Amino acid sequence: MIKKIYLEGFRNYNKVEISFNNKVNLLIGNNGQGKTNLLEALFFTGMLRSFRTIQLRELKSLEHQGFLIKTQINHQDWIENLEINYINNKRNLKIDEKSVYKSSEFIKRVKPVVFSPDDQVIIKGNSINRRRFIDFLISLLEPEYIVMLQHYSFALKSRNIILKNNELNIEMIKAYEPLLAESGAVINNYREKYCSILSKSINRILNQFYQQKEFTIKYKPLYKCFSKETLLERFELERERDFKRGFSSFGPQTDEFDFLLDNKLMRSFASNGQCRLIALCLKMSSVELLATQNDKDDIIVLVDDVTGDLDKSIKETFFSIMDYAGQVFFTFTEKPDEKYFKNGNIYNIRNGKIF
């Protein structure tokens, strides 16, 4: 669990230190006071990225040159002190005072799952949102996956730069294809595997409050290539056409995932209520899947403005899934009076200050 967090120059926080000594934590304050910002900092500690933006410079306070996040993490049998110092667009990482240079060695000391009102874009938005969700989840569960994504993205950028050249240079385009094919095949296989795992898990959750609904995620790559060899063949086939287009036209970066509820494509046919429900299930499944292979203490759940308007039966399932996490943070504008929150610690947030 996160025992302590210190923020300096992060969003609307000037300097603030908060200790947590309870499983359930309620962050309470009016709109625009810093509740989501605090969740963002907690998430950042775990994953070195934000759930709201891909621009790191947005995270530093407008009045600071950079930001500093220090956290104390209490694992089951040991304690770690993490430090993220972002200054002049550069990030310095330390674990227990020692510099760490690779983000892959720093992340996942705590594993966060965030529930946000924006989660509906996973269902309704364009495919990039679905890829981002699936990639994030598999990265939490399979250490190899994030490395493969990095390899793939490096090779893709390089191949695309050459495809944009005015002259066709087959040898140079080809040079990146083995790396693309090798990492691409691993990515495709994991995506296929997790579509099936997620579908099952979501159905199980859904059936606790909704009988007779059938949810499926279908993996829809442009071409079904699950081996390095078939990918290499496809790259060769597309090479000259890719040159004419000026970019690589297929691969994991173009994959779609069809979310189907009772066999109907959700992004075209689902109601807002159904989207909200399935978005919630996606995140509940994420927590459940993480719990199958992690110490409870290392799983943290961040719930941003979500529980207020849920049906009673869904709430029951939701709170029972919160039991899989070591620590849960909820944001509210007013203290809720439900039983679940009764013994939670309260942090009042006003204008970047915590009382």
Ligand X SMILES: Nc1ncnc2c1ncn2[C@@H]1O[C@H](COP(=O)(O)OP(=O)(O)O)[C@@H](O)[C@H]1O
Binding site for ligand X (CB under 6 A): 11-12, 29, 31-37, 58, 60-62
Number of chain residues interacting with Mg ion (CB under 5 A): 2
* Nearest residue (CB) to Mg ion, 35 versus 159: 35
* Nearest residue (CB) to ligand X, 67 versus 257: 67
From Mg ion, ligand X, none, which one binds at residue 25 (CB under 5 to 8 Å depending on kind)?
none
From ligand X, Mg ion, none, which one binds at residue 34 (CB under 5 to 8 Å depending on kind)?
ligand X
287/295 Cα distance (integer angstroms)? 12
Q: Is 286 a binder of Mg ion (CB under 5 A)?
A: no
From Mg ion, ligand X, none, which one binds at residue 62 (CB under 5 to 8 Å depending on kind)?
ligand X
From Mg ion, ligand X, none, which one binds at residue 191 (CB under 5 to 8 Å depending on kind)?
none
Paired with 107 in beta bridges are none
* Nearest residue (CB) to Mg ion, 25 versus 36: 36
235/180 Cα distance (integer angstroms)? 9
Least distance in Å: CB of 306 to Mg ion? 11
Q: Is 116 a binder of Mg ion (CB under 5 A)?
A: no
Region from 32-40, 105-113, 202-210, 282-290 binding Mg ion, contact rule CB under 5 A: 32-40
Least distance in Å: CB of 62 to Mg ion? 18
Q: What are phi and psi of 99, to 5 degrees?
A: -65, 140
| Coil, strand or helix at 64 | coil
From ligand X, Mg ion, none, which one binds at residue 308 (CB under 5 to 8 Å depending on kind)?
none
Task: Compute the residue count for the chain.
Answer: 355
Least distance in Å: CB of 39 to ligand X? 8
DSSP code of residue 323: T
270/249 Cα distance (integer angstroms)? 29
From ligand X, Mg ion, none, which one binds at residue 74 (CB under 5 to 8 Å depending on kind)?
none
Paired with 213 in beta bridges are none
Contacts of 8 (CB under 8 A, 6+ apart): 14, 15, 64, 67, 68, 69
Structural contact between residues 326 and 23, judged by C-beta atoms closer than 8 angstroms: yes
Sheet containing 299-303: order of strands: 111-115, 299-303, 327-332, 24-28, 345-350, 353-354
Q: Is 36 a binder of Mg ion (CB under 5 A)?
A: yes
Which residues of this protein are in contact with Mg ion, per CB under 5 A? 35-36
